[in-house]
Amino acid sequence: MTSRAVDARRAAVLGSPIAHSLSPVLHRAAYDALGLTGWSYDRFEVDEAGLPGFLEGLGPEWAGLSLTMPLKRAVIPLVDEVSETAASVDAVNTVVFTEDGRRLGDNTDIPGIVAALREHGIEQVDSAAILGAGATASSALAALARICTGEVVAYVRSETRAAEMRQWGERLDVEVRTADWDDAAQALHAPLVIATTPAGATDALASAVPERPTTLFDVLYNPWPTDLAARWSMFGGAVVSGLDLLVHQAVLQVERMTGRAPAPLDAMRRAGEKALAER
């Protein structure tokens, strides 16, 4: 997909809060590696109330936007078309502006999860466990719909969250069973464990890591490693990090916004690692 022929092209990440975002680091690294000297990528603090006005104020130099919370659902009525992937979880994290000025909403988190797992040798699993039940958990379920052939157990803190996860399972055609968070240590024996919880939420589980852990996908990247990820690695298990996800979903964004593929995955990862180290 290409955008209109304008010498200086712009893209940005929007959200609130946004100061912590690594997206500018990753996208700028991609532009440098691709030789896109006329491209810039910024960050803007934008909440749900400010989003319509921000979009209306964009000129023809804009190629695309990355969206983080709380905008992933708020943007849906403001775009002209939503991809099937984004519609499956009611979440748009990418908007691409076409040559004729249309706004296309997409979701690169879901294929980003699949790509990050594939990079670590996970092509298919017969079952999985998800820790948590927020927005990232629904994206994880959508990714598992592509690679998991059996049951997914979601460990949650309330019956309301449990009901939501079961509904997502029905919608995504994934066999979902819910379990109480108090039993979350059982999740660590699954062939694939995806932790979608905020910082600190899984720390108490570190002591329950089995002697021969399989694969942990922890969506956090700062602070890193989490207690759970550190213990998992110490016991020889495979760990996929939130930075892996961030880089892979950004690779797909760069390709969609610039029309250049493949995006420079290694350069983007190095830039992300350097930025995190400096923090």
Q: Which residues are catalytic, by number? A: 72
Q: At what angle do helices 135-147 and 159-172 cross, to 10 degrees?
A: 40
Q: Are 46 and 99 in contact (CB under 8 A)?
A: no
Cα–Cα distance for residue pair 150/129, rounded to 1 Å: 11
Q: Are 179 and 203 spatial neighbours (Cβ–Cβ below 8 Å)?
A: no
CA terminus-to-terminus distance, the chain? 35
- The alpha carbon of residue 165 and the mean position of all alpha carbons in its chain are separated, in whole angstroms, by 18
> How far apart (Å, rounded) are the C-alpha atoms in residues 115 and 253?
13
Q: How far apart are CA 156 and CA 160, in angstroms?
A: 9
CA distance 149 to 167: 18
Q: What is the DSSP letter of 126?
A: S
How many other C-beta atoms are found inside a 10 Å radius of the C-beta of residue 238? 16
CA dihedral (114, 115, 121, 122) in degrees, to 10, reads 0
d(CA 93, CA 82): 11
Instruction: Locate all alpha helices (DSSP H) within the chain, ordered by sequence.
Output: 23-34, 51-56, 84-89, 109-119, 135-147, 159-172, 227-234, 242-258, 265-278
Q: Look at residue 164 and give its three-state secondary structure.
A: helix
